[in-house]
């Protein structure tokens, strides 16, 4: 599935990429690759199983280039952080669009994601239906649902994070809900305190 990436304010396209999925007998591999015009790269790969419930198996995220200033360098080399964190069974990094396509309309759900700040921190993510939207393609209109994605830090942590300017921003995704559910677009930052970008599907020409 091809993607295009554009700024919300100006509408300028800042990069292109691919959203790929490969099904295996025991897992599904999903990869989102975004290549910026300035040479930056966002490469997110997730493997998960879908036997009765979705289960995250592996997750890998690579971000580099001038569009990701949080990833500082010293001596021309990228800094790396390492450590361990105990994960609950409902961690779904890289799988939010997949979850939204399988939600029952008008029902909110809360899951966990690992936020990199830059060290990993486990937070809750509430996925809330935010209304319907009609989509037009040529002479055909289809029904879609908008979802607000709200990180939940807890009162004490949210106040602390807001004071430090580290509170994660809300995001919005649109999912085609008529007939076969499909991803349409997502608006939000790709890193802490980053600009709001729009990732949306495009048609090959």
Q: Per-residue pLDDT tens, the chain, 205 aa: give them.
A: 445 555 544 678 888 899 899 999 999 999 999 999 999 999 999 999 988 899 999 999 999 999 988 765 555 566 666 667 888 999 999 999 999 998 876 789 999 999 876 678 889 999 999 999 888 877 788 889 999 999 887 644 454 444 445 556 789 999 998 888 889 999 998 887 888 899 988 765 5
Report the sign of the C-alpha dihedral through residues 97, 93, 46, 7, in that order: positive
Residues whose CB falls within 8 Å of the CB of residue 202, separated by 6 or more in sequence, listed in order: 2, 3, 4, 16
pLDDT at 49: 95
Secondary structure in 3-state letters for 16-34: EEEEEEEECCCCEEEEEEE
Cα–Cα distance between 48 and 55 in angstroms, integer?
Answer: 5
The rounded distance, in Å, linking the Cα atoms of 198 and 116 is 20
By CB atoms closer than 10 A (0-12, 13-18, 19+), residue 48 is buried
Give residue 84's pLDDT. Answer: 73
Q: What is the pLDDT of residue 113?
A: 93
Q: How big is the chain, counted in residues?
A: 205
HSE of 57, CA atoms in CB hemisphere, 13 A: 14
- What pLDDT score was predicted for residue 74? 55
Q: Please report the pLDDT score of residue 9 as a whole number.
A: 46
């Amino acid at each position: 599935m091809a993607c295009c990436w554009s700024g919300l304010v100006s509408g300028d396209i800042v990069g292109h990429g691919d959203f790929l999925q490969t099904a295996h007998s025991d897992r599904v591999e999903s990869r989102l690759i975004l290549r910026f015009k300035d040479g930056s790269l966002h490469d997110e790969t997730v493997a998960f199983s879908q036997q009765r419930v979705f289960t995250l198996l592996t997750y890998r995220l690579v971000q580099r280039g001038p569009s990701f200033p949080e990833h500082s360098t010293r001596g021309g080399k990228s800094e790396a952080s390492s450590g361990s964190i105990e994960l609950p069974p409902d961690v779904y990094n890289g799988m939010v669009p997949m979850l939204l396509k399988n939600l029952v309309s008008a029902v909110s759900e809360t899951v966990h994601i690992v936020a990199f700040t830059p060290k990993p921190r486990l937070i809750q993510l509430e996925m809330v239906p935010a209304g319907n939207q009609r989509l037009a393609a040529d002479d055909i209109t289809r029904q879609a649902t908008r979802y607000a994605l709200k990180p939940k830090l807890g009162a004490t942590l949210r106040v602390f994070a807001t004071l430090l300017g580290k509170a994660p921003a809300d995001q919005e995704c649109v999912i085609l809900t008529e007939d076969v559910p499909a991803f349409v677009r997502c608006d939000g930052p790709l890193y802490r305190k980053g600009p709001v970008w729009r990732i949306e599907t495009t048609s090959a020409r």
